[in-house]
Copies of this chain bind each other. A is one copy, B any other.
Amino acid sequence: MIYVCCSLMAMGSFAQQQLGQRPRVQSPVVNADGTVTFNFYDPSAQRVSVSGDFDEIRSQRLNMTKQENGVWTVTTKALNPELYSYSLSVDGQRFVDPANSYVNRDISTLSNIFIVTKSNDDKGHLYSVNDVPHGTLSRVWYDSPTLGQQRRMTVYLPAAYDGKKVFPVMYLLHGHGGDETAWGDLGRASQIMDNLIAEGKCVPMIVVMPNGNPTCNAAPGWWHEGMYTPDGNAFNQRGAKASMEESFMDIVNYVDSHYKTIKKRSGRAVTGLSMGGGHTFGISRLYPETFDYYGLQSAAARVQQNDAKFNEQMSRLFSSKPRLFWIAIGKEDFLIQQNNGLRQYLDEHKYPYEYYENDGGHIWRNWRIYLTMFAQKIFRD
């Protein structure tokens, strides 16, 4: 709705522009037909293009055309409902679009975002802030005795949380290069949860998004290491006192002692993407009777076939009969062979699990889908 309005404003500002006057550019403009127009003013540039995930799965570059008023423009094909990311390339240099103040950070790179939505039951709507009751999103510092640190995590409390009623908890883990802000920003976790809960598609639950890098107290810029340039490799494990998995019960204990939670297995789920899927797999083996629901999303989950301890852990885990062991991955994910290996192992041992495979690779677009699916599967019984 609003985008149609923006589109008219953009046309209006172009029409009114006088020769020599700097035009006020609106970008992006999501048009009524689902196409999206990008506009960028730069009379002296030679080559301008926009790169984004318009092609569903892979990044796509669209060359922009300069108009007489110095505004470069390009319009996409009609896009499906989705949250899209993009950036501009101006004479070979990558920039965020100066007309769009909505950006996400992925490791050290900022990209612009926009949403296309057509109806109230599409993904664009699910990822949007709608006129529904909203949960509280908090950045919480907790004590981790195992790591000897104060650490930061993100806690989503559902709108119905009133400090009296108890709620189940989903622990939602990020991947390599991520931190406690990743699922909220790139994953639209609070919008997805607000909307699923409002529509009655999942039960109201607390969602805990910790930082999975045991040598970082918090996201870049939010701890005492200063405003360093984030680097996926710099801080993950080097010199850590313990692994994410080994220190994980510090988080569960903090959450159970500070929030109104269902303090038993049936009230706890854990899921994560990539490295966080690996953490989920490790946690499932270390604490087999603590959680009832596991979700491995594009997981780095290596089977240690010849490791007696691994086999024993797996046997204990599945003897404890978790209600859900869910594996989700895209056909083009570079970890699909590893996940096939895990499935083969589970099949051979007759360990029950659910499997979901879709198109695409190791991308946020898929992880938002997996979160949406997992949230609807848990705490139902």
Residues on A facing B (Cβ under 8 Å): 1-3, 6, 26, 41-42, 44-46, 90-96, 98-103, 105, 108-110, 113-115, 128-131, 133-141, 150, 152, 159, 163, 218, 220-230, 258
The chain B residue sitting closest to A138, CB to CB, is: B138
Determine if B221 and A102 form an interchain contact, defined as CB atoms under 8 angstroms apart: yes
Q: Across the interface, which residues of B come within 8 angstroms of A222, CB to CB?
A: 129
List 18 A-B residue pairs with CB atoms under 8 Å apart, sorted by A's residue number. A3-B226, A42-B93, A44-B92, A45-B91, A93-B98, A95-B98, A96-B110, A101-B109, A101-B110, A103-B103, A103-B110, A113-B227, A115-B227, A129-B222, A131-B224, A133-B150, A137-B138, A138-B138
Once bound together, how far apart are the Cα atoms of A113 and B110, in whole Å? Answer: 14
Q: Across the interface, which residues of B come within 8 angstroms of A140, CB to CB?
A: 136
Once bound together, how far apart are the Cα atoms of A110 and B222, in whole Å? Answer: 19
**4 nearest A-B residue pairs (beta carbon):** A138-B138, A131-B224, A2-B226, A134-B141
Q: Across the interface, which residues of B come within 8 angstroms of A152, CB to CB?
A: 134
Once bound together, how far apart are the Cα atoms of A46 and B2, in whole Å? Answer: 38
Once bound together, how far apart are the Cα atoms of A42 and B90, in whole Å? Answer: 10
The chain B residue sitting closest to A28, CB to CB, is: B227
A41 → chain B, closest Cβ, in Å?
7
Q: Across the interface, which residues of B come within 8 angstroms of A135, CB to CB?
A: 141
Determine if A91 and B2 form an interchain contact, defined as CB atoms under 8 angstroms apart: no
* New contact pairs (4) apart from A128-B224, A138-B138, CB-CB < 8 Å: A6-B229, A96-B96, A129-B223, A131-B224
Between A92, A222, A226, the greatest number of chain B beta carbons within 10 A of the residue's beta carbon is seen for A226
Partner of A102 from B91, B95, B102, B227 at Cβ < 8 Å: B227
Between A44, A100, A128, A152, the greatest number of chain B beta carbons within 10 A of the residue's beta carbon is seen for A44
Q: Across the interface, which residues of B come within 8 angstroms of A114, CB to CB?
A: 227
A205 → chain B, closest Cβ, in Å?
17
Once bound together, how far apart are the Cα atoms of A137 and B222, in whole Å? Answer: 12
A194 → chain B, closest Cβ, in Å?
10
Determine if A2 and B228 form an interchain contact, defined as CB atoms under 8 angstroms apart: yes
A168 → chain B, closest Cβ, in Å?
21
Q: Across the interface, which residues of B come within 8 angstroms of A99, CB to CB?
A: 229
A76 → chain B, closest Cβ, in Å?
17
Determine if A101 and B108 form an interchain contact, defined as CB atoms under 8 angstroms apart: yes
A85 → chain B, closest Cβ, in Å?
13
Q: Across the interface, which residues of B come within 8 angstroms of A26, CB to CB?
A: 229
Once bound together, how far apart are the Cα atoms of A61 and B210, in whole Å? Answer: 41
A14 → chain B, closest Cβ, in Å?
15
Q: Across the interface, which residues of B come within 8 angstroms of A137, CB to CB?
A: 138-139
A300 → chain B, closest Cβ, in Å?
25
Determine if A230 and B134 form an interchain contact, defined as CB atoms under 8 angstroms apart: no
Once bound together, how far apart are the Cα atoms of A1 and B3, in whole Å? Answer: 46
Once bound together, how far apart are the Cα atoms of A320 and B93, in whole Å? Answer: 61
Once bound together, how far apart are the Cα atoms of A226 and B141, in whole Å? Answer: 30
Determine if B42 and A226 form an interchain contact, defined as CB atoms under 8 angstroms apart: no
